[in-house]
Amino acid sequence: MPDITIVVLVVDMPTDKLILLEFILLLFCSRRVFILGPSHHVRLSSCTLSSVDRYETPLYDLFIDQQVYSELQRTGQFETMSVQTDEDEHSIEMHLPYIAKVMESRQGHFTIVPILVGSLSVEKEQMYGSIFAKYLADPENLFVISSDFCHWGQRFRYTYYDKSCGEIWQSIEKLDKMGMELIESLDPTAFTDYLRKYQNTICGRHPIGVLLNSIACLRQNGNGYKFSVKFNKYAQSGQCRAMKDSSVSYASAALTVQ
């Protein structure tokens, strides 16, 4: 069975060349690209679907897979977002030009499945994970999970600081990498416990939680799939050294399914 790569956050940096090359090759084999992004502008307690049939990019239009949308709607677990909500949200939009560019030679031969993910309970993350499991197992599908990591500073109302780490930015890095290691362990419960303990402001925690629960569902079914996740890049928008400072952390990872 071909590998499937799930990209938590795609970053174009020289050290990512191998991962990026693998990502591109796998995109060329993909018929559908699922994009799971967190809701920043409206309060949601479920996953929602777009009400339009295509997204415009500077290169060409990306068509939404209406067949998959119909399948998801039949579960009774998905709502439909307004056009205004769709236009206001950036977590899905920011990935569209990159997908369009990489897939440029396959224009018209693939679709996208955008999903806006709300603030889900643990039970709902498990439920949506089970819904998406069959799509994750399909080698013709690729998943893009949109997320930043720690949003630190008074303007984000989050100033956790472990002074034993040294500078503030070093404390942030340790906190983020603790979460990254738990994601690499593919343990949704451990990741949830980490978020409860430290309240790290990872905006895509629920899309990540859905992904981890999809993996857990496939593992429980005993179908022989092998999973491997590896973070390949980490950065901060700035190095915080005083309480008046602020920063946002970024990370990229690839998950392969065999």
For residue 67, give the CATH number of its domain: 3.40.830.10
Is residue 243 assigned to a domain? Answer: no
Flag whether pLDDT at 136 surpasses 70: yes
Is residue 166 assigned to a domain? Answer: no
The pLDDT of residue 2 is: 38
Is residue 228 assigned to a domain? Answer: yes
What does the pLDDT average to over 92-116?
91
Is residue 189 assigned to a domain? Answer: no
Residue 231, amino acid: F
Is residue 128 assigned to a domain? Answer: yes
What does the pLDDT average to over 150-163?
98
Is residue 209 assigned to a domain? Answer: yes
Residue 177, classed as helix, strand or coil, is helix
Residue 61, classed as helix, strand or coil, is coil
CA distance 213 to 175: 22
Count of domains observed in the chain:
1
Residues 6 or more apart whose Cβ sits within 8 Å of residue 79? 44, 46, 47, 48, 49
Is residue 86 assigned to a domain? Answer: yes
The alpha carbons of the chain give a radius of gyration, in whole angstroms, of 18
Could you tell me the pLDDT band of residue 157, with boundaries at 50, 70 and 90? very high
Domain that holds residue 105: 4-151+204-236+250-257
Is residue 162 assigned to a domain? Answer: no
